[in-house]
Structure formats: structure tokens, C-alpha cells
Chain A
Amino acid sequence: MAEALALELKGITKTFGGVVANKDVDLKVYKGEILSILGENGSGKTTLMNMVSGIYYPDSGEILVDGKSAVISSPKDAFAYKIGMIHQHFKLVDVFTATQNIVLGIKDGKFNIKAVEKKVQDITDKYGFNIDLNKKIYEMSVSEKQTVEIIKVLYRGADILILDEPTAVLTPQETRKLFDILRKMKKDGKSIIIITHKLHEVLEISDRVTILRKGEYVDTVDTKDATEQSLTEMMMGEKVDLNITREEPKNLVERLVVDNLTVIKHDGTVALDSIEFNAYGGEILGVAGISGCGQKELLESIAGLQTTTKKSSILYKPDDLGPQQLVGKTPKEIRKLGVALSFVPEDRLGMGLVGNMDIIDNMMLRSYKSGKGSFLNRKQPKSLANRIIKNLEVVTPSASTPVRQLSGGNVQKVLVGREISSEPKVLMVAYPVRGLDINSSYTIYNLLSEQKKKGTAIIFVGEDLDVLIELCDRIMVINSGKITGIVDGKTATKEEIGLLMTKSVERDDNNE
């Protein structure tokens, strides 16, 4: 391996308001290597790399590129140092084509799209990308968008590439393809930094691993000397049992019978195609699928937020009433029947919680209508807020703190806590641990397991296949709006699910 230093960070510190995101972090990256930065969510990986790419500016510390001190105060500076970052949330202009996005921001020479296309073609040939350069971004799949991002950085001649959670949105197959490309780049002498929290990927792709914990530098190790266990210990700081306790489901009661559920989106594409499954009280039904496969529409249909086709049927069987047809009911009616949806969307505060409102007012979101008259009653919400803060150990100055000011994990505790407090018969959760550290994640997993024991039917949409396999009793895999399989959580393997996520239904709308 080449031993020349490409990038070095010394004593980098960055704070946001009162929160320390990075404290005195050191880092070394050599030429022609792949370095993983490993850490839980919230450990400051992204913040650190944002300082290298010029999005943030460090409060103190030094950055050296090629051994020389560098001041990177804007992304432009970063490019000048041949540093390029592929952000987790792609930075692409939706209404532009791939080519337009690729040349964005480059100011040398004549503006000649033809010449650009030629150069881009060279890059795609060299590393084996597969992309239609004239396609507009808003028509692209996630993987295509990522490809555009990578080409964009390469086009700028970047020698140091930073990828923030590049595999989060990819199928295992797409991930493999990406890794092949990264290896080619490494051979080409480029330095690649991957931000991730997936251990097996770290072990698979990287040469060395730098571990961060709570914003601080822990250690850097050679991958060949590391194991999942050793890395986890460094990441967590203490030995943690990776196992999630899963009890055998007991007293199963049929709660939901979904039949022929079809959703057609505004643009005419089919989001869900004749979905058919049952959910039982007392078990956790996992839902796996790549993003955009239709899980969101599935949950929203059950919650009454989606328009479904006429033949669709969602039968809900409560104890006290006869079977209820949920299709055609309003979200409010469905909630009253005891079907709760706790949806944690990508921006976390976009749905389910209102960032600028305090915890008490957020508690009211569900219940403010109850009670007579046109005025609000803040008494019960207040006691509920205090109960959740106490029971779930929410870290907050008080119940009247705006939710926006809480950290991600605490926000999620508030959200899930509120949903569970209404004691639903069916609880749907989507991405409940997205962006949470491991301890918070486990709090949530335990909450769900407890609900399961109480006989709630839980539908869990998650991204992490490891968690799905450990937590869920059955796992339903959706691919392009169709169910491609329902597997047993105890026996399923990741490979099996990964295949189901991508298999067969190679969508042919593109060829039409």
C-alpha cells in the first residue's frame, strides 16, 4: 500500500450551540486506501466529514492535505484540494439532467456540453458506471442518483472521495456493484472515506477503520485485525449483547386481513399491486424492501392516508366489534378503532411531531379533539408528557421545551411513546430507530417487544436487515409494490431477504 498521506486532521473540534459534535478528533488517510469511519448515529462522523468538504467550518483544529495546512471554508475550497463528498441526502437539482448536475459549479474553459459528455463517458467507461446522462434527476432511482453524485465528484478530478452512508438506500446487489467500483478507484490511487455504521460492510470493503464515539476519536485499526465484536466494543465503549430478546409469539389473534390492496399514484404508476397478508395480535410482522418499494404506501393505506383502488380490502377485527372495513374510513375513524401509525420519516419531524411545538402540545396532536367545546385542554397531555419523559428517560429541560431542540433519539422516544400510550390494537412503526444510537434503539425494540407481549399486532418497517431478522417473527418482503415473500424471522438469512428485495419483478415501466 502506498504510504503517502492524502489527508490529515489534527485536533478538530466543532460545536453547535451547546452541543459538542466533534471534540479534538485526529484522522489520517493514505493515498490508495479505503478508510471506514465507523460510529453510531450521532457520533459525529458526518459532521467531521462535512468540515473536510467545506460545509461546516471547524471551531478549532487543523486540516492538512498532502501534508500542507489547508483552509477549507467552502465546498469550492474542498474541490480545489481535490476533495469530493457524496452526501447521504443527495445534492442534486431535480429538474436538471444528469449532465447538467455533473457540470454544475465548474468554471474552467468554455461551456461546451458535448465536450463534457465525452469526458463523462470516459469516466463511466473507466469505472463501469451505467447511466443515461440525459435523464432528469426526478425521474431517477436512488441508485442512479448516487451514480450521478459519484460521477460528479470524479468529474471534478477528486482524489479524496467521501461517501456518507452510501449503502443505506441500496439493495445488497447494488451495494456489491458500488463496492466493485470503489475498489477500482482505489486501484487508481484515490483515497476513499466511507462513513458507515454497518460492521460487515466495514470488514468487507475497507483497509483501515477509524472509530468515533460521541464525537471523540477512539482508535484506528487495520481491518484485517478487526472483528465485528472488536469493532462493536470500540464503537460502544462497552461490551454489548447484539441479541435482541425475541419471545415466542403467544395467543395469536387475527387483527388485520389485507386483500387485493392496490394503490395507483397520481402519475399513474402502481405503488402497490394486489397486496395480500394477515397480521396477528401478539406478533411482530416485519416489512423489508428497498426505499420506494411501496412500504410507505402500505402503511398509509392501512392508516387511511392513501387512496386505494375500489377492490382493495383491509379488514380489521377488533375484539368488541365485528370486522371493520378500513378502506374508505378517514384516518381519524381508523385511529379511533385502535390502529395506530407511528411513522418516522426521513426528516424525522416531518410527520407525527411538530418541531416548533413543545412536548405537551405534541402530546395533544392525537387527543386535542377529545373533550367538548372549542377550547383545548392541556391538563392530560401535560401529565402524559411528564410520564413519557420519566418512563422513557427523555433528556429534555422540561415538558415545555420545543421538540426541535431535543436530540434525535429523544424525539423518537417522544413519538413512539405517544403512539404506544394510546394502547392501540395494531401498531405500525416505520423506521423507528432511524438516526438513533444503539442504546436508544434498544429502548425502542424493548418497547415494541413489550407491546407484542401485551397482544398488540405490530407491523415494523425497518431498513436494517439484521434488526429485522432478530426482532420480527415474520418478515414480509415487498418489491416494486408486490409481495415477493413472507419468511420466518427465526430461520431467514440476509441473503435470502436481499434476493427477495430485488428478485424477479424487474420493473418494465422504463421500457414503455
Chain B
Amino acid sequence: MNKVKNHEPLVHISKRDSLPMYKSWAIRGMAIIAALIVAGIITMLLTGENPLSVYLTMIKGAFGTSRRIWSLLQGLAMLLCVSLAVTPAFKMRFWNIGAEGQVLIGGLATAACMITLGNKIPNALLIIIMIAASIVSAAIWALIPAFFKAKFNTNETLFTLMMNYVAIQLVSYFEILWENPKGSSNIGIINQATHAGWLPTIGNFEYLLNVLVVLALTVFMYIYLKYSKHGYELTVVGESENTARYIGINVKKVIMRTMILSGAICGIAGLLLVGGTNHTITTTTAGGRGFTAIMVSWLAKFNPIYMILTAFLISFMQAGAGEISTVFGLNESFSDIITGIILFFIIGCEFFINYKMHFRFSQKEVR
């Protein structure tokens, strides 16, 4: 231990003040390209195909037909929706990893309305009740951890995480309760004959409604965060709770209010997924979006407009990798591996945006 080092450190790291916008995006762009190269190489090793055809397959998988484009848009919209939901909470430094559960609860409430009220009341009324039920139930689900965070500073990361699994088991329960046909442990398509409670489609475009709703939400969230008093308050709370308290912001109220909003948007995601797209609910309805959304939101630096880009990137990767696995006969989990690799690169590249490295070999040796 007492050996004295006699060489200077090779690399010295220091924090950057700030980097011009274009430079930081260039770094991110390079990270994505590097990730694509690595992903291409891995695919090549596994399939023996040349990388170019791998990338072409990915693009074809994402944009090949108009059906695929729509399906990409739908995936993008739903992912973006959940990402928008978690964003205000994150900006407040409230780590809501419970979006998965909140979406499920919203979906469950939607399904409950469709099953219990379907064909019994006018369809328009049913849909209004569905909207209200999904938003309120998911908001309450999100409020529970927020309440304890506000009141006792209970760790929200782990609380919301646990709530996911409670929600999943709750859905399992109802899946069996409402199973159709009997013994399948599956709800099946709800109101298949009557379409009661199915959200309307616009024209012939099955997913257009979802896309438009999410687009509206994006604009709403951008304005909410940047120009509203609520947005200002939650930013202050996120930056410094002490400051917030000192200027008379009711921190507890802001935490709970923001999580209600976060949950409500998750509820909308659940509504769109169950009422608009799947017309059924399973424990995997949220499909891991609650977790992916965290990365989408974080990569976009909590800016709703950038989030369109990051959500697109991830949706594209998943669609593309999905296509690779079908075409080259790989397992469908391949897309998770590729997504993981891309995420590693993007997460890692933030370092080069925030820090500077100085290499020392150029300096003269001091004796």
C-alpha cells in the first residue's frame, strides 16, 4: 500500500460545463450508429448473413408494408404514451417504475366496464364511463406510493416496483373470474359480437385514434411542463425540495398531484390498449412498456418532443429485430437483446456529453 506511484494518471476526467446542442446530439447519433454496428455484427455471427441484408431486413420489418408502418406507429404511440406518463414524475425526481402496473390497472378498469356494463347501456355512455374509470383507477393506484412518499418519504422506486406485481396478480385474478370460455383462464376478446365498448376507429385506420390521442397528449405535456405553474412547481420540487418548501410550495401536494397525473395518463394508455387495440386484457397487456418508457423518457432528457424520437428509435429497433428473428429463424427474444445493446450504448454515451477526458501521454515527463 505504501508504494508510491511514480507515473501520472494516464487519463484524467473532468466535468464539462456544457456542450453545444449539435455536439451532444452528434455524440448520441454516433452511439446509435456504433450500437447498430455491434448489433449487426452479432446478428451476422448468429445467422451468417451479411450485415447489409440484416439492416435491410430491419427496415423492411419496420416499414415494409403499410400494415407494418401502422403497427410501428401504434407501438410507438403506446410507448410514447406511457413515457409521457412517467415524465412529470421523473422531472420531480420521483422514480415511478410502476407505470407497468398503472397501465394494467387502467386496462383492468376498462375491461371491467366493458364486461359488466357492455350491451346494457348505450355505447357512448359506456365509453365515457370507461374513460373515467380507467383514468381514476390508475390515478389512485399511482397515488398510493405518492402518498407514502409525501407523508413518510417512503422509497418510491421500490414501492412502485412492488405495486406492479400486485397489479399483475390482480389482473390474473380477474382473468380467471371472467374467463371465457370456462376453464381457459383467459378473458378472450370482449364483446366480440357487439363490439360494445370498443373505441371507435377513424375511417379505416384501426390505430389512428390511438396515434392522435397520444399526439395530443404529447403537446399537452410539453406545454404543461414548460409553461404551466404546475410544471414549474414540480421542476422546483425535483431540483430542490428545500427550496420548494422555502418558497411556500406545498411539496406533498405537488408530489401527489403529479403522480395522479402520471397515473391518469397511464390509465389512458390502459384504456387505449384494452378498449382500442386488444379488446381483452392479460397480465402482459402493458408489455414491459412501463420499464421501456423510463428509458425513453430519460434518454430524451424528459423533453416530450425529443421523446417522439427516442420512442421511435426503440419501437423501430424492436420491430426490426422482430423481423430479423422471423426471417432468419431466430428466437423472438432476439429483439430484447438488440434493444438492450442499443440502450447500453446510448446510456454510456451520456458520459462523453457530460465529461471530458484528457489523455496525458502528450505531456513531457517531469523529473
A interface, CB within 8 angstroms of B: 16-18, 57, 62, 69-71, 73, 76-77, 80-81, 107-108, 303-305, 330-332, 335, 341, 343, 345, 349-357, 361, 364-366, 368-369, 374-376, 405
Contact = CB atoms under 8 A, between A and B. Distances in A.
15 contacts: A71-B4, A71-B6, A77-B4, A107-B1, A305-B245, A305-B246, A330-B248, A331-B247, A350-B240, A351-B242, A353-B243, A354-B243, A355-B239, A365-B236, A376-B232
A57 B248 contact: no
Interface in B14-50: 14-18
B128 interface: no
Nearest to B358: A59
A366 B235 CA distance: 14
B237 to A, nearest CB: 10
A349 B248 contact: no
Contacts of B1: 76, 80, 107-108
A353 B235 CA distance: 12
B152 interface: no
A304 B2 CA distance: 54
Contacts of A356: 239
Interface in B218-251: 227-230, 232-233, 235-236, 239-240, 242-243, 245-248
Nearest to B245: A305
Given A57-B12, A350-B243, A366-B247, A80 B4 contact: yes
Contacts of A18: 17
- For the complex of A and B, list the 8 residue pairs with the smallest distance between their C-beta atoms, beginning with the closest: A332-B248, A331-B248, A17-B17, A354-B239, A351-B242, A73-B9, A351-B246, A365-B247
A355 B236 CA distance: 10
Nearest to A303: B246
Contacts of B235: 354, 357
Nearest to A366: B247
B5 interface: yes
A345 B15 CA distance: 24
A351 B245 CA distance: 9
Contacts of A351: 240, 242-243, 246
Given A62-B366, A80-B1, A71 B7 contact: yes
Contacts of A366: 247
The bracket for how many chain B residues form the interface is 20 to 34
A16 B15 CA distance: 8
A15 B6 CA distance: 23
B366 A374 contact: no
Contacts of A57: 8-9, 12
B3 interface: yes
A32 B329 CA distance: 77
Contacts of A71: 4-8
Contacts of B230: 374
Given A17-B17, A355-B239, A70 B4 contact: yes
Contacts of A357: 235-236, 239
B197 to A, nearest CB: 33
A354 B18 CA distance: 17
Interface of B: 1-9, 12, 14-18, 227-230, 232-233, 235-236, 239-240, 242-243, 245-248, 366-367
Given A351-B240, A356-B239, A375-B227, 18 more contacts: A16-B15, A17-B15, A17-B17, A57-B9, A71-B6, A80-B4, A331-B248, A341-B246, A345-B242, A350-B243, A352-B246, A352-B247, A353-B243, A354-B235, A354-B239, A354-B240, A365-B247, A368-B229
Contact of B236 (A16, A80, A354): A354
A343 B12 CA distance: 37
A398 to B, nearest CB: 13
A374 B246 contact: no
Given A62-B366, A331-B248, A81 B4 contact: yes
Contacts of B8: 57, 71, 73
Contacts of B246: 303, 305, 331, 341, 343, 351-352
Given A73-B5, A352-B246, A375-B227, A364 B12 contact: no
A304 to B, nearest CB: 8
Nearest to B226: A376
A374 B236 contact: no
Contacts of B7: 71
Given A349-B240, A350-B240, A369 B4 contact: no
A369 B239 contact: no
Nearest to B364: A60
A81 B230 CA distance: 55
A169 B296 CA distance: 46
Contacts of B236: 354, 357, 365
Nearest to A70: B4
Nearest to B9: A73
A330 B248 CA distance: 7
A338 B229 CA distance: 23
Contacts of B233: 368
Q: Identify the interface centre among A81, A349, A352, A365: most chain B CB within 10 Å of its CB.
A: A365
Given A71-B6, A332-B248, A405-B17, A369 B229 contact: yes
Contacts of B240: 349-351, 354-355
Contacts of B232: 361, 364, 368, 376
Contacts of B5: 71, 73, 77
A26 to B, nearest CB: 15
A221 to B, nearest CB: 29
Nearest to A61: B366
Contacts of B227: 375-376
A332 B248 CA distance: 5
Contacts of A349: 240
A399 to B, nearest CB: 16
Nearest to A345: B242
A435 to B, nearest CB: 18
B7 to A, nearest CB: 7
A349 B15 CA distance: 19
Nearest to A369: B229
